[in-house]
Amino acid sequence: MSRKIKKTKLTTEQPAANLTTEVEVQTPRSALAGMGGDEHRIYSSMFEVFGIVQGVFFRKHTQAKAKQLGLGGWCMNTREGTVKGVIEGKLLGLNEMKTWLQTKGSPRSTITKAVFTPNEPLPAHNFKTFTIRR
Protein backbone atom coordinates (compact mmCIF):
# COMPACT_ATOMS: atom_id res chain seq x y z
CA MET A 1 0.00 0.00 0.00
CA SER A 2 1.51 3.32 -1.01
CA ARG A 3 1.29 6.37 1.18
CA LYS A 4 0.69 9.73 -0.42
CA ILE A 5 2.48 12.66 1.15
CA LYS A 6 1.74 16.35 0.68
CA LYS A 7 4.90 18.45 0.83
CA THR A 8 4.80 22.04 2.00
CA LYS A 9 7.73 24.45 2.18
CA LEU A 10 7.74 27.02 4.92
CA THR A 11 10.00 30.05 4.69
CA THR A 12 10.90 32.27 7.60
CA GLU A 13 12.87 35.45 7.42
CA GLN A 14 14.90 36.90 10.24
CA PRO A 15 15.48 40.56 9.31
CA ALA A 16 18.22 41.23 11.91
CA ALA A 17 20.49 38.48 10.63
CA ASN A 18 19.14 38.67 7.05
CA LEU A 19 18.77 34.86 7.01
CA THR A 20 16.20 32.74 5.22
CA THR A 21 15.46 29.22 6.41
CA GLU A 22 13.41 26.71 4.43
CA VAL A 23 11.80 23.79 6.21
CA GLU A 24 10.05 20.96 4.38
CA VAL A 25 7.01 19.59 6.21
CA GLN A 26 5.48 16.30 5.14
CA THR A 27 1.82 15.71 5.95
CA PRO A 28 0.18 12.38 5.09
CA ARG A 29 -2.84 12.88 2.81
CA SER A 30 -4.88 10.72 5.18
CA ALA A 31 -4.48 13.43 7.80
CA LEU A 32 -5.82 15.97 5.32
CA ALA A 33 -8.90 13.89 4.45
CA GLY A 34 -11.03 15.46 7.16
CA MET A 35 -10.12 18.95 6.05
CA GLY A 36 -12.51 19.57 3.18
CA GLY A 37 -12.01 16.25 1.36
CA ASP A 38 -14.61 15.08 -1.16
CA GLU A 39 -16.19 12.66 1.31
CA HIS A 40 -17.25 15.57 3.54
CA ARG A 41 -18.29 18.08 0.88
CA ILE A 42 -21.87 18.66 -0.17
CA TYR A 43 -22.77 18.18 -3.83
CA SER A 44 -25.91 18.75 -5.86
CA SER A 45 -27.23 17.26 -9.09
CA MET A 46 -30.45 17.71 -11.07
CA PHE A 47 -32.06 14.63 -12.60
CA GLU A 48 -34.84 13.54 -14.94
CA VAL A 49 -36.07 9.96 -15.19
CA PHE A 50 -37.88 8.64 -18.28
CA GLY A 51 -40.08 5.59 -18.79
CA ILE A 52 -43.13 4.45 -16.83
CA VAL A 53 -42.47 6.58 -13.76
CA GLN A 54 -45.84 8.24 -13.13
CA GLY A 55 -48.73 6.51 -11.40
CA VAL A 56 -46.38 3.88 -9.98
CA PHE A 57 -45.38 5.56 -6.67
CA PHE A 58 -42.00 6.54 -8.12
CA ARG A 59 -41.83 9.86 -6.27
CA LYS A 60 -42.76 8.25 -2.93
CA HIS A 61 -40.07 5.59 -3.31
CA THR A 62 -37.56 8.23 -4.42
CA GLN A 63 -38.29 10.24 -1.29
CA ALA A 64 -37.85 7.17 0.92
CA LYS A 65 -34.53 6.24 -0.75
CA ALA A 66 -33.23 9.82 -0.43
CA LYS A 67 -34.16 9.83 3.26
CA GLN A 68 -32.40 6.48 3.76
CA LEU A 69 -29.23 7.93 2.17
CA GLY A 70 -29.42 11.20 4.12
CA LEU A 71 -30.00 13.32 1.00
CA GLY A 72 -31.99 16.52 0.57
CA GLY A 73 -33.79 17.87 -2.46
CA TRP A 74 -37.10 17.36 -4.24
CA CYS A 75 -38.83 15.55 -7.10
CA MET A 76 -41.95 16.16 -9.17
CA ASN A 77 -43.95 14.81 -12.10
CA THR A 78 -43.66 16.67 -15.40
CA ARG A 79 -46.24 17.22 -18.12
CA GLU A 80 -44.04 15.13 -20.41
CA GLY A 81 -44.55 12.01 -18.25
CA THR A 82 -41.13 12.07 -16.56
CA VAL A 83 -40.01 12.70 -13.00
CA LYS A 84 -37.44 15.42 -12.40
CA GLY A 85 -35.79 16.84 -9.34
CA VAL A 86 -32.70 17.79 -7.39
CA ILE A 87 -30.61 15.68 -5.02
CA GLU A 88 -27.94 16.99 -2.70
CA GLY A 89 -25.68 15.53 -0.06
CA LYS A 90 -22.38 13.73 0.34
CA LEU A 91 -20.82 12.30 -2.80
CA LEU A 92 -21.20 8.65 -1.80
CA GLY A 93 -24.95 9.02 -1.16
CA LEU A 94 -25.42 11.11 -4.29
CA ASN A 95 -23.79 8.47 -6.47
CA GLU A 96 -25.78 5.66 -4.85
CA MET A 97 -29.01 7.61 -5.46
CA LYS A 98 -28.08 8.15 -9.11
CA THR A 99 -27.57 4.41 -9.56
CA TRP A 100 -30.91 3.72 -7.86
CA LEU A 101 -32.70 6.26 -10.10
CA GLN A 102 -31.15 4.69 -13.21
CA THR A 103 -31.68 1.04 -12.39
CA LYS A 104 -34.29 0.44 -9.69
CA GLY A 105 -36.91 3.09 -8.92
CA SER A 106 -40.24 1.96 -7.51
CA PRO A 107 -41.29 -1.70 -7.84
CA ARG A 108 -43.89 -0.91 -10.52
CA SER A 109 -41.78 1.54 -12.53
CA THR A 110 -39.97 0.82 -15.81
CA ILE A 111 -36.99 3.12 -16.29
CA THR A 112 -35.81 3.65 -19.86
CA LYS A 113 -33.36 6.48 -19.22
CA ALA A 114 -32.12 8.78 -16.46
CA VAL A 115 -30.10 11.95 -17.06
CA PHE A 116 -28.13 13.95 -14.50
CA THR A 117 -26.27 17.22 -14.40
CA PRO A 118 -22.65 17.02 -13.25
CA ASN A 119 -22.14 17.01 -9.47
CA GLU A 120 -21.79 20.60 -8.32
CA PRO A 121 -20.03 21.37 -5.02
CA LEU A 122 -22.06 23.48 -2.59
CA PRO A 123 -20.87 25.59 0.34
CA ALA A 124 -23.89 24.47 2.41
CA HIS A 125 -27.15 22.53 2.15
CA ASN A 126 -30.02 24.16 0.25
CA PHE A 127 -32.57 21.56 1.46
CA LYS A 128 -33.10 20.13 4.93
CA THR A 129 -35.15 17.16 3.68
CA PHE A 130 -36.26 15.53 0.45
CA THR A 131 -39.77 16.59 -0.57
CA ILE A 132 -42.30 15.76 -3.27
CA ARG A 133 -43.46 18.78 -5.23
CA ARG A 134 -46.88 18.83 -6.85
Task: Using the predicted structure, report yes or no on whether residue 6 has a pLDDT greater than 60.
Answer: no
Number of other CB atoms surrounding residue 56 within 10 Å: 17
Q: List the catalytic residues.
A: 59, 77
Check: pTM over 0.75? Answer yes or no: no
* pLDDT one-digit tens code per residue, 65-78: 999 999 999 999 99
Judge whether 58 and 51 are in contact, CB under 8 Å.
no
Domain ranges of the chain: 40-132
Instruction: Give the model's pLDDT for residue 37.
Output: 65
Task: State residue 93's pLDDT score.
Answer: 97
pLDDT on residue 28? 39
CATH-assigned architecture of domain 40-132: 2-Layer Sandwich (3.30)
At 36 the pLDDT is 52
**Mean pLDDT over each residue of the chain, to the nearest integer:** 82
**CA distance linking residue 26 with residue 21, whole number of Å:** 16
Q: Considering only CA atoms, which of 75, 76, 78, 82 is closest in space to residue 114?
A: 82
Of the listed ranges 16-25, 43-52, 81-90, 119-128, the one predicted with least confidence: 16-25
Give the model's pLDDT for residue 5. 43
